[in-house]
Structure formats: C-alpha cells, structure tokens
Amino acid sequence: MNKIMKKILTLGLIITAISITSCSGVIFNSIRDEVKLADAQITADVCSIFRVYDASDSNEYLYVTAGTLWKKNINEATTEGTDTDKDGDGVSTSKSGCWKKATKPEGLLNSGASNADGEIYVVSATNGTVDNETVPDTSTVYWYDTAAPDDGWKIVQFADSSKGTDVTKSSSSESQVFMIIGTNTPKKSHRHVFLNLAGTVYKLENGVATEYTSGDFTDVDNSTDISSTVCSVATFDGSSFYFSDEYGLTTDENIVDDATKMYLPSGNYIYYRSSSDSEWSKSSSNSSFSGTLAATFTTSGIILGTESGHEVALLDDEGIPTGETDSLPNNGKNTLNGYYEVWNMIAIDPSKTWTGTDIYASIDFEGSSSSTSATSQNCGLWAYYPSPNRNSWNRE
C-alpha cells in the first residue's frame, strides 16, 4: 500500500479513536427541548418589569416599561397558597400573553416602580429637534395613582422647593444618573420607590420626591454610604432599606413570608446576609456570577440574568449559595442563551421552584445581528409558565 493510502488510513483511525472518547456541550438533548416560538407582543427594549397593586380592583398586576407601558393581571399567579387563592388547584400561574397597553405620560418610558399604595412612578424621556435632527431633550418623573385613575399621570414634585418644582433632568445633564428603583417585593406592603438623581437618592411617595439618606449602602466591603451610582434596593421588613450599585440585589421574600436572607451578586461571588447579620458573607468563587444584570429568588436557586444569558446560583438547605451553578430546565437554556443579555428577571412566587411559578425575563444583545448569532426578533419579553399551563419558555 503506497504512502498516501497509509496516511489516509492512519488519519482516519486517529479521528475515529478520538471521537469515541469525545464529550462537550449538550446538543441533541437541548434541541429536543425547543418549542415553536410564539409571535411576540412585546419586542422592544424592556427597561423595567415591576409589580403593581391596583387599588381600583384590588388585583396584582405586572407592568413593563418598554418605551410604552404594558400591564398584565397576574392575580391568579400570586394568590396560590394564600387566603385569597380562588381555584385552590395548587398551581401558581396566570394565562400566557394577555398583555394590554396601559395609559402613559408623553415620551418614551424607561425605568419604573410602584409602592404599597398602588402608586406607579416612571421616568419618561422626550425628544426635541435641533437642526432637523432628533435629539434627547428632557427626562421627567411621572406618577399615577391607581386609587384615583381619573387624575391621570402627573409630574412628581420636589419636597424641597430649593431643588425646583418638577422632578426633571434636562439634556444638558445627559450624563447624570436619573433612574427609578423599587424594592419590587412579592408582599405589597414592602413595596417602596426611590429615585437616583445625579447621585442623590429620593423617596417617592404621594407624588413627592423627598431626599433619603438613612439607607445602608450594601457594597460588599460593608460600607454604609449610599453610592452615587446606586441602581438597586431591597428590604427585609419594608421599613429599613439596603442600596447597592450592583444589579441583582434580591431577597427570598415571598407572598406569605418576610425575607430571611438577602443576596447580592458581585464579581465572581454571591454575597448574602440575614437581617441580624452586621456584614456580608460570600459564596465560593464562580466566574459564571460575573456580569449579573438581574436576579430573582426561587427555591431551586437564584436565577441570574447576565451579560451572557443566564445562570442559576444553587443554594444549600439553609439558603446559602454553594458557588455552583446550573441552567434552567426545559428550553430555558436555549432561549436565555449566551448570545443575549438578560436585563430583567422576576419569579412571581419565590416560594416555588423554577418550574413551579411564572417567571418573566427580558433579553437584548449588543452589537449587530451580523456580528453575533443573536437575532433582534428574540429581543423583548419572555416568560415561563409551569405545568399544566405550558411548562416552557416562549416570547410574550
């Protein structure tokens, strides 16, 4: 047999030998979990997903700011296990889809939150025209009282008149932080809204912005100064608050029970503390925790939305992060995959597992479709509904 044939044979045998011992990412098994994608109703950049108690009908809603304002009745998903559970079927889930456009103020909405009284606060940005070009103009904080729907949307006012009247930010201050953050808790009574305006934190109540200084800055070095870049807030009891300049600050509070632990993803760690702790503890290091953009608690683990899809930080029996991770079951790993950034994540009933409650997430990506494998058609709001509803993730 000549040299060429010998070389071909040898190469073929080597390839075959290597292939028998191969292993890597799960492919066919993941493909079998895929589902046919539904037509999306909310496909814009989603800025906020927050809970709202509507005082006009005493129902729980989920609101989404994505330029416009969407709302959905999630009362069925929030009543399981409570005295007001109507159907008692043991399943915490609402119907898929069913989003409606809510009334909104002028401009494009970005951040938003609501409080225990059913007041909704949003930041709305308007554009102006300079030399026939559309440019950012003004950002304004508006509020809406669900107990007085006829009053419509109004501009929030400063409590301290020396700061002005309307809470706005002009385009000349474009680099300043201007962001609404809320505790967004499952318990209505623990919901509070704050505004970070150029590094000063204000509490928003009754349409008035009052400067707030008594919170704890929850940086992982246990300092207590509120950072100028604060972007999240959490609470154990609804009366004292923890602020962080890290995204993903969350607790294990559920519809019935107060929080026992607070969690803060930062760098390669998950920091955690109880209400009685004076400082943070941290999990084992795991690079999968870095780049966290959002977090929500379930009894299966803390589901993190990251710059590269999602991760689930696993917990031990005492709710302490182990440092290990997993991926969402079913088609969650295919939909919230590493090509996308997951900016929002919320489990409606944190007392359930990751397959026991409705979970909503929003995804986006950087760059262009030609430079990544992401597609703009998948950007927007996604949701998981447990069995017997759907038991899979799909577009909303």
Partner 1 sequence: MKKYLVFFCTILMLSTQAFCQEENEENDDRFAVEYTFNEPGDQFINIGLMVTFPLNFGGSFPLYREGKLATGGAGTIGYHRFINSWFALGMDISFGYAPTIGENMFTYVPITLCFTVQPSYKRFEFPISFGIGAAAETYLSNTYFPGLILKPQAGIYYRANPSWSFGVKGDYMCMPQWYDNSEYNDVGHFASFVISARYHF
Binding site for partner 1 (CB under 8 A): 1-2, 4-5, 8-9, 11-13, 15-16, 18-20, 22-32, 34-37, 309, 331, 334-335, 337-339, 373, 375, 377-378
Give one word for 316, left, alpha or beta, with left for phi > 0 and alpha for psi -120 to 50.
Answer: beta
Least Cβ distance, residue 214 to partner 1 (angstroms): 45
From residue 130, how far is each of 13, 121, 127, 140 by CA, in Å?
Answer: 69, 29, 10, 20
Least Cβ distance, residue 13 to partner 1 (angstroms): 8
Of 206 and 375, CB closest to partner 1: 375
Is the Cβ–Cβ distance between 312 and 295 less than 8 Å? no
Of 17 and 213, CB closest to partner 1: 17
SS3 12: helix
Which residue bears the tokens 């129902």?
A: 59
Of 29 and 161, CB closest to partner 1: 29
Is the Cβ–Cβ distance between 301 and 353 less than 8 Å? no
- Adjacent-strand bridge partners of 209: 158, 204
Least Cβ distance, residue 301 to partner 1 (angstroms): 18
Least Cβ distance, residue 290 to partner 1 (angstroms): 16
Of 46 and 336, CB closest to partner 1: 336
Complete DSSP assignment for 280-348: -EE----GGGTTEEEEEEETTEEEEEETTEEEEEEE-TTS-EEEEEE--TTTHHHHT-TTSEEEEEEES
CA torsion angle 279 283 287 291 (round to 10): -40
Which residue bears the tokens 């959490």?
A: 234
Least Cβ distance, residue 270 to partner 1 (angstroms): 23
Least Cβ distance, residue 388 to partner 1 (angstroms): 21
Q: At 307, which amino acid appears?
A: E
SS3 45: coil
Of 9 and 198, CB closest to partner 1: 9
Of 8 and 147, CB closest to partner 1: 8
Least Cβ distance, residue 28 to partner 1 (angstroms): 4
SS3 382: strand
Asked whether the CA dihedral 78, 82, 86, 88 is positive or negative, the reply is: positive
Least Cβ distance, residue 27 to partner 1 (angstroms): 4
Is the Cβ–Cβ distance between 39 and 99 less than 8 Å? no
Least Cβ distance, residue 375 to partner 1 (angstroms): 7
Complete DSSP assignment for 83-136: TT-SS-SS-B---S---EEPP--SSEEEEEEE-TTSEEEEEEEEEEEETTEEEE
From residue 288, how far is each of 208, 217, 292, 308, 346 by CA, in Å?
Answer: 40, 25, 9, 9, 19
- List the structure tokens of 109: 């909405």
Of 127 and 334, CB closest to partner 1: 334
CA 228 – CA 213 distance, rounded (Å)? 12
Least Cβ distance, residue 96 to partner 1 (angstroms): 16
